[in-house]
A and B are shown apart, each in its own frame.
Chain A
Amino acid sequence: MTDKVSFIKQVTKALGRSKMIRPTENYATAIFDDRHLASANAVQAVTDADSMSASLIEQMVQSADEAGWKVHRTDNFEESAELIVSICKDHNANSVLRSAHSVLTDIPLDSALTASGAVLEVTEHSSESSIQQIQKSKSAAFRADVGITGVDYAVAETGTVVLHPRAGVSRLLSLAPPTHIAVLRPGDVLASLDELFAIQRDDFLNGELQGSMNLISGPSKTADIEGTTVTGIHGPLEVHLIIIENNKS
C-alpha cells in the first residue's frame, strides 16, 4: 500500500527535484488570479446577465434549440402554466414531480396541474433523512412521468441549463423522468462557460461553493450503435425549455 507522502515523493523525484517547490506565477491558469479579480469577474458576469438579458435570451433560444431542447417562449405566468399542463397531457403524465424553485410557485402551476388530473409531488427536504426517506425520494423520481425544475443559471454559448442539487432540487428530478421541463426567467442567462465558472470560483473563494453542479444541454443521447444518434438512453428522452420573457402576471 502506498501512502500519500511516498506517492508524491515519487512524483517529485520523477520531476527531477529533491523536494516539492511552490509553482511561480503562471498566467495560463487562473489559480494565481487573486480574490479581488475573481470577485470582480463574478460581479461582471451577473451584471452582464442582467443588462444584456434581451440579447442573451435570443442567443440562448438558438443554442438551446441546437442542443436539442424544445424551446417555448411565453410572456406571462398563466400561459407558461398552461404550456406545462399541455406538455404533461401530451405525455399522458399521471405522476409529475417538481422542484422547490420559486419560479414554479410564482406561476399558477400546482393548481393548473391538479385541475388537469395529474398527481403532483414536490421534492422537499424532510428533516429525518432516513434510509426509507431516501428510498422514497429515489423511487418517486424513477416513477415520475415528468420532472419540472427552475433554472439556477443558463449558458447562452452552449444552450445549457445549470442546476445545483440541494434541498428541494433533487439530483434525479431532472434525470430519471422521461420528460424534463425547465422554466427559465430572463436575467439568469450567462454569456458563456467563462462567466459560469467565474461565479463558481468566486463562490469557492468565499467558501460558498455548492455541493455539486449539473450542466444540462439537451436530452440524454448516445451514438454507440452504428454511430446513429438516439435520445433517451439513461436520462430524459425529451426536454423542454420554457422561457418567461416579461414576468407579467
Chain B
Amino acid sequence: MKPLTINFRSKAAQTIVDEQVQNSLEHVYTGFYQGRLNAAADTPNWEELRTKGKAIKDHTIAHLDHYLDMLSGKVEENGGTVFFADNADEARQYITKLAKDRDIATVIKAKSMVSEEMSLAENMNDAGFEAVETDLGEYIIQLAGETPYHLIAPAVHKSRKDVADLLDKDFTDGDRVPDATELTMLAREQLRDVFARADMSVTGVNFAVAESGSIVLVTNEGNGRMSTSVPRIHVAVMGMEKIVPSIQDLSTMLRILIRSATGQRISTYVTMVNGPKTPDEEEGPDEFHLVIMNNGRHKLLRDPLLRESLNCIRCGACLNACPVYRKVGGHAYGWVYPGPIGAIVTPVITGLKDASDLPAASSLCGACHEACPVKINIPRMLLELRHRTAEGLSDPNERTSKFSERAIWKAWRIGMMGRGRFDWGARIGYLFMRPFSINGWMKKAPPPISGWTLSRDFPLIARESLKSRLNRRHKKDV
C-alpha cells in the first residue's frame, strides 16, 4: 500500500467536520473502549496477565531469529511450505504466482493487516483473479474501493444507507433503510456463493507457535474457519513478529488479545491449524503455505528505543483509547496501521520525512500505554520520534525544526539550569510578554513564536516568583 502519511493534516481536518463519521467513531469509543474496561475489571488477574504477555513478547522478540528458525522448521515438518518475504512485493508475487501455477480462479481473503501492506486483494483482482474480502467490514470496504478504517472494525465509518447502496442498489425499498440484520443476511447470501466456488484462501495470523508450527486465527464471523475448511489451498500471511514460543503461551495471549480488542471473554471462533489437512479428513486444504514478511520491521528491531513496538498483537485497544484517533479517524494516518501504534510503526517503515505529523498527533496523555495488553510504552516512543524529526537525527536533511525554534529551546535549557538564571530568565520573559498579553494571557505572540500561539494561549509569566513572594512574606512575619 502506497503511504499517504503526508496528507495527515488535510485528512484529519476533513474528518473532524464530518458529523456522520464523528458519530461512528463515538461507537468505537463507547463499544470497544468500555468493553475492554469491563472485561479487565471482570478478570481478577488482569495485571498479572498483561505482565506475563509483555514478558512473553519481550523474550520472543529478543530471540526472534531463533524462533523464526524453529517456526519455519516445524511448519515444514508438518507438511506446510514456508516463504520468507523481505518486502511486500516479494510476498505478493509469491502468492500471485502460486495462484497462477495452481490454476486458481477465486481467492477468499480473511482479515489480515499484513495483506493490506501488499494491497493483495486489489492486486490479485487486477491480475485477473476473483479476490474477495470475506470479513463483513472488509467486504464493505472492498465494495467501496477504500482502505480499512480501524484495525478490527474496518467499516466503522459507514452508515446502514452506505452499506445498503454498496451491497445492492436495488435492495433499498423507497426511503426505508434496511436494518443491520437484513443487510448482514444479504451479505451472507452473497458471500456463501463465493465460498462455494473458492479454491484458495489467504488469511492473516493472530499467533504463530514456534515449537509446534501452528497458526492461530481469531474471528467472530467464521470466515477464518471457512478459509481453513473450503479451499484446497490455504495461504497464511504474517509479519515476522507474530510469534509466541509455546502452545501453552496461547492461553495468556488469547485472553489479553480478545479482551482488549472487543471486550469479549473469547471470540466466537479460535482456530488452530497445524499444517494441511490430515489424510483421514475429507475437507480442508491439501496445501498450506506460510508467508513470513519483514517489510521494514527490521528497522524497528534494530532500534533499541523502538523495538518494543514489535510486541504489538494488533488488538486496536490503543486506537479506541486515543482522544486523537477518536477525532481524526483511521484514514488520516495514511497507511495500514492507524492510531498510536501506527504513529510509531508507520513512520519507521514508510519514512519519517512524510510521516512526521503522526507522532506529533498525540497529547501524550498516556491512555494508549494504559490500554495496551502488552504494556507497550507508546508515549515514550512517540516522544523519541518527535525528538528525531526535530533534530534530524535519522537524516540531517529531514530536520523539521527551524533555527529559531532550536535557539529558543537552547535558551530555555540554559535558563533552567540554575536558580539565578531562572529568576533572571523569568524576569526577561515577563517583560517580553507583557506588551502582547491581555488579562494575564498571551494569545498572539510575535514571530518567531507566533506559530506556537496559533493554537494555544500562553499564560503571562508572573511578575514575581513564588520564592521571592514567600521570602518577602517571611521577612514581614519576622
Contacts from A to B (Cβ < 8 Å):
1-4, 7-8, 10-17, 20-23, 26, 28-31, 33, 38, 41, 63, 66-68, 123, 125-126, 129, 133-134, 137-138, 141-142, 157-160, 165-167, 170-172, 175, 192-194, 196-198, 200-201, 204, 209-228, 230, 232-235
A-B contact pairs, 25 of them (CB 8 A): A2-B294, A4-B69, A8-B68, A21-B66, A23-B59, A26-B59, A28-B52, A31-B246, A125-B282, A137-B282, A159-B266, A170-B281, A175-B226, A175-B229, A194-B248, A194-B251, A212-B272, A212-B274, A212-B284, A215-B270, A225-B163, A226-B180, A234-B223, A234-B226, A235-B269
A171 proximity list for chain B (CB < 8 A): 225, 228-229, 281, 283-284
Contact with A along B182-213 (1 / 0, CB 8 A): 01110110011001100000000000001110
Cβ–Cβ < 8 Å partners of B301 in chain A: 11, 14-15
Q: Nearest Cβ distance between residue A149 and chain B, in whole angstroms?
A: 14
Interface string of B9-33 (1 = CB under 8 A from A): 0000000000000001001100100
Contact B222 A175 (CB under 8 A): yes
On chain A, the residues within 8 Å of B85 by CB distance are 2
- Segment 68-82 of B: residues with Cβ below 8 Å from A: 68-69, 72, 82
Q: Which of A159, A209, A212, A221 has the most CB of B within 10 A?
A: A212
Closest to B187 in A: A233
- B109 in the interface, Cβ–Cβ < 8 Å? no
Are A193 and B184 in contact (CB-based, < 8 A)? no
Task: Please judge, given known A-B contacts A21-B66, A28-B59, A158-B265, whether A11 and B272 are in contact too, CB under 8 Å.
Answer: no
Q: Which residues of B contact A221 (CB under 8 A)?
A: 220-221, 268
Taken together as a complex, chains A and B put the C-alpha atoms of A134 and B82 apart, in Å, by 26
Give the residue among A13, A30, A233, A235 with the most B Cβ atoms within 10 A. A233
Q: Is the interface of A mostly helix, strand, loop or mixed?
A: loop
Contact call A11/B64, Cβ cutoff below 8 A: yes
By the criterion CB–CB under 8 Å, are A30 and B226 in contact? no
| A196 and B251 within 8 A (CB) | yes
**Chain A residue nearest to B183 in the complex (CB):** A225
Within 8 A of A (CB), among B237-275: 240, 244-251, 254-255, 265-275
Residues of B within 8 A of A1 (CB): 90
- B356 interface contact, C-beta 8 A: no
> What is the bound-complex CA distance between A192 and B251, given in angstroms?
9
Closest chain-A Cβ to B38's Cβ sits at a distance in Å of 12
Please state if B283 and A138 are interface contacts (CB–CB under 8 Å): yes
Tell me which of A31, A125, A227, A230 contacts B245 (CB under 8 A): A31
B469 close to A (CB within 8 Å):
no
**Which residues of the other chain, A, contact B280 by a CB distance below 8 angstroms?**
125, 166-167
Contacts of A194 in B (CB 8 A): 248, 251
Within 8 Å of chain A (Cβ to Cβ): is B129? Answer: no
**Residue in contact with A233 in the complex, picked from B72, B136, B267, B277, CB distance below 8 Å:** B136
Determine how close the nearest CB of chain A comes to the CB of B391; give it in whole angstroms.
Answer: 23
- Cβ of B274 and Cβ of A210 under 8 Å apart? yes
Which of B154-162, B376-384, B423-431 lies at the binding interface? B154-162
The reply to whether B302 and A234 form a contact with Cβ atoms under 8 Å apart is: no
The interface residues of chain A lying within 8 Å CB-to-CB of B153 are 223-224, 227
Instruction: Collect the chain B residues with CB atoms within 8 Å of residue A217's CB.
Output: 265-270
Complex contacts, A2 vs chain B, CB 8 Å: 84-86, 90, 294
A contact residues around B191 at 8 Å (CB): 234
Q: Does chain A have a CB within 8 A of B63?
A: yes
Known: A211-B281, A223-B153, A228-B180. 13 other contacts (CB 8 A): A10-B294, A14-B298, A23-B63, A28-B55, A28-B56, A29-B60, A159-B265, A165-B283, A216-B269, A222-B137, A225-B183, A226-B180, A230-B181
Q: Given A171-B283, A212-B273, verify A230-B180 contact (CB < 8 Å).
A: yes
- Beyond A23-B59, A201-B246, whether A233 also contacts B184 by CB under 8 A is yes
Known contacts A15-B65, A31-B211, A175-B222; A225/B249 CB under 8 A: no
Nearest chain A CB to B198 CB, angstrom units: 11
For B114, the chain A residues whose CB sits under 8 A away are none
Chain B residues positioned under 8 Å from A13 (CB to CB): 298, 302
Chain A residues in 8 Å Cβ range of B151:
none
Q: Is the CB of B59 within 8 A of A235?
A: no
